[in-house]
Structure 1
Amino acid sequence: MSTKIPLALIADNCTQIIIENDDKTIYTDIGYQYRLERYIKKLGLEEGLSQEELDFLFAAKWLEGVIQAENPTTTLDYNQLAVYAGERVKQLCLEWGIESDLASRLATFVSNIRPDKTLDNKLDQIYNDAVWIDYTLGNGRDNLKKYYQQLLLQGYNIERLGWYDVITGYLESAEFYTQYAKNNYQKALKDLVKSLKQEKKQLEKRMDLALKQQLNISEKEIKKLKKNLQNVKKRDDRGIQTLLRTTLRNHYTLNQMIDRKANIMITVNSIILSLLLGGIISDPVEDPVRVSSLLLLTVACMASIFFAILSIRPNKTQGDFTEEEIRERKGNLLYFGNFHNMHIRDFEWAFMQMINNGEHLYEAMIRDYYYLGVTLSKKYKHLRKSLNIFLFGFIGAVVLNLIIRMI
């Protein structure tokens, strides 16, 4: 490594790119870069690395941070990410005027950073150990949680239970190469795997409990339902999607019909009220026959308008969900009234939780369908009252007028 490494140039430019993508880099942010630098420095000194070798690792670390921030992949395919990493590092080095030999070595090194590969080179081993150390410290589980949230924001299709399977698989096969890391962090790594497995079991129990409470069913029925869901997963989803899409479209059409009819009732009654009040003001009525019938019709029109307005009056909503409610699948994010007060990052995370879990997504669609039906029922009741009041009020006014005249 005879080429001088422009570490300050690389660090400054990479910092700018990482900050520009900070809306998605929840885990591999600037703080992560400085933590990793401390681990690399400690391991490098223990292994007797030169300053030039340390600078190379620091430069590779910053470039890997850019790859994680810009990550265009949406699956845990490390081959695809490795190809992108190599090309992107070479492109950045060319833009920054870095020598081609150093650029090639950095590109090769960064493209080899992956958890599913056995490492023989000392620099690769030190970098690998530094990455695993960040998961084994006191806030290691929080770091894994942040990394999962980052992957969701970047478009990865991983449900939470599936994430536990993936990460525990990598952690179980992970090994430290340097003696210092083995002595200080190997046990913590095993303890982390054990705690993650326990956490997964607790999550499964909470999800089962939430499902039992929602459906009011027994443990035996839960097991039977899970078995049936496994069979459903093997079916073609297009039939289910068509069913939900058709029923939702039909109900939205009914909703529009109610709104149009309510608007018609408001318009008709408003016109009648305008004519009645205008006639009374311009030509005061003293005939008790006309007064009683006009009064009845006026009250009927006002009551009809009142219920017509109720049928189209929007409900007041909370507009927010807690993290626990999202994890237990209690929130319906398909309706704006339920999320309009949420922060954009919280909403993105919650929505990715939903769309990355097929069962959760179908539950949300079914729940949205149900509450749409409940809303339609209330609207129909108010509209029916509006129509009935107008009908009987109009007939009553005419009949009353005829009866009084006959007397």
Structure 2
Amino acid sequence: MVQLMEKASAFVLDLLKKELPDNFIYHNYTHTKRVVKSLQEIIDHTELTDKEKEILLVSAWFHDTGYVKGCENHEQSSVEIVKGFLLDNQYPAEKIESVCKCILSTRFDVCPTDKLEKIIRDADASHFGKDYFEEASEFLRLEYKLQTRKNYSEKEWRKINIKLLTEGHEFYTDYALENWQPQKEKNLFELIEKQKKNSNKQDTERMKAQIKDESPERAIQSMFRVTMQNHLKLSDIADTKANILLSVNAIIISLILSNLISKLDANSNKHLIIPSLILTIFSVVSIIFAILSTRPNITSGEFTKEEVLSKKVNILFFGNFYKMPFDQFNWAIKQTMQDKSQVYEALTKDLYFLGVVLHQKYKLLRITYHIFMAGIIVSVAAFIVAFAFYKN
């Protein structure tokens, strides 16, 4: 028997190594060895004849070899393979029939009828009662995915395994019931616990999402944040535009003072006095309005407790507290934070007065651009008239 088992092991290893596709990451030689090992456990604790042991071991080695020909009806393919092997080794026909019967009994929809069938069936499903059940189960799930037979999610696979362990599987031998059933129950318990945790987690996330949807807090905060950012950007843009006008007009005045005025004393250039004066005046006025648009307004920097309690002061604006001692400012901030509506009211005031300042900036900036544009037009026209009618 030992010699036959060595031949069977070598034959199966060579067959699976050469012909089994790589995407069989569960039903491979490792699985076969596990089944043989589990079978040996049962054999060692069961009264069996040498003939029965031999039939069982051969069945275990060959029970999944049919996968080399595909998943469809692989048990029958395994029977054909083992028949060929045993006939080549002059194995008795009676034993071949028993081996084939054992292999066919590993079909999950077949109920084992005799002792040998029950033993091979328990050995094939022994991973249900082993501590490596989770690992083996995950390999089987991935095998289905790699072969595009079925892509189960972890949740779906867990549900299938729970149903399988509770309704679809049972151990038949005394050894399996005594030694593997407790671990099977433990594996089932762990699956159920994970399912509960997953369900609780999903319920929690669903409740959080519901609370988030129903509560306007986040939307309100986002509204204030985005609006404030937009207003600050607009303020920066206004300051940039004012600085551009300041720079341009300063350059114009510098050019007039350095290059043109020194030449106006000559009789030949007297016709340029008025156009130069017009350009200078408009540039100076533009500079004045540009400065006004960027000039900060100075406030008192103080507040009273009555103003805070009556919500008449915006404690978030620096111009209202920069002269106050820290203790009073700290008290005012805490007083504001005690009432959520007061916080929103302070933010609203801050936003409103920022808008008022922006309006003033852009109003002065618009006037500055009009003055600058008018100055350029009038000055150019004056220079044209001066050159056309008053030269010499």
TM-score w.r.t. the length of structure 2 is 0.45
Bigger RCO of structures 1 and 2 (CA < 8 A, at least 6 apart): 1
For the pair shown, which has the larger CA radius of gyration, 1 or 2? 2
TM-score, with length taken from structure 1: 0.44
